[in-house]
Amino acid sequence: MPRLLVRRPSPLLAEGELTHLDRVPVDPALAPTQWEAYVEVFRSRGWDVIEVAPADSHPDGVFVEDAVVVFGDLAVLCRAGAESRRGEAASVGAAVEASGLRLSTIEAPGTLDGGDVLKIGRTVYVGASSRTNAAGTAQLREALAPDGWEVVAVPVSKVLHLKSGVTALPDGTVVGFPSLVDAPGAFEKFVPVPEEHGTAVVVLDSQTVLMSADAPVTAAQHRARGLDVLTVDVSEFEKLEGCVTCLSVRIRD
């Protein structure tokens, strides 16, 4: 059974870090409701949902994907590029260890945010962003080398994280909103999408993806490719440079 690591939104969510967006009001009642609906999509499809301990003093703690990246039975605990987020890692690491995965840790001076890591087959694309530095990428490459993963660094300057601009469909096709992508040529196959919030998909299985409800034209494009597309409203998290990928960590057995 696939497992899902998630963490409930902090009461301080509206105070989260922003890099590329202007701050706008976040609805404190709507955000938890949207989070519950997001989690229910996975639960209804047979995923075992594991809640990481709350991190109410960390506004960005709900974006749990940034704290750890899973490669088979190996979990790499990240070191956040934003100093204000480094306190999020310990509780995520405890949840990962309890799940039985092997654990590797990014150490100073390296920084790595999970949102900068895109896995396609055995290739790992890592965004060279304001949150992930060369030392963090080098440590990740060293940790993954024994298991045969190839790590490829790609530039990211137009969005917060690599996966703010691109993600991959089940067949490995990379999709993204062109004006948010620094180097579409870095990927073997890149297909543009027509909406900014259509950049992010979570692969649930070989035929099914989850994406934002705020990209209906992109959803139709994916359905025309033969995919089953589920949508969920994550507007309050999108206001904070979040998306459907960063609200969970997927562990596939």
Count of domains forming the chain? 1
Contacts of 155 (CB under 8 A, 6+ apart): 127, 128, 182, 183
Catalytic residue, chosen from 58, 197, 243, 246, is 246
pTM above 0.95, yes or no: yes
Tell whether the model's pLDDT for residue 253 goes beyond 90.
no
Catalytic residue, chosen from 58, 161, 197, 222, is 161
Q: Which of 112, 125, 115 is nearest to 20 (CA)?
A: 115
For 12-21, what is each residue's pLDDT tens digit?
999 999 999 9
CATH for 192 = 3.75.10.10
Phi and psi of 130, rounded to 5°? -70, -10
| Domain housing 43 | 3-251
Is position 246 annotated as part of the catalytic site? yes
Percent of the chain with pLDDT over 90: 98
For 62-84, what is each residue's pLDDT tens digit?
999 999 999 999 999 999 999 99
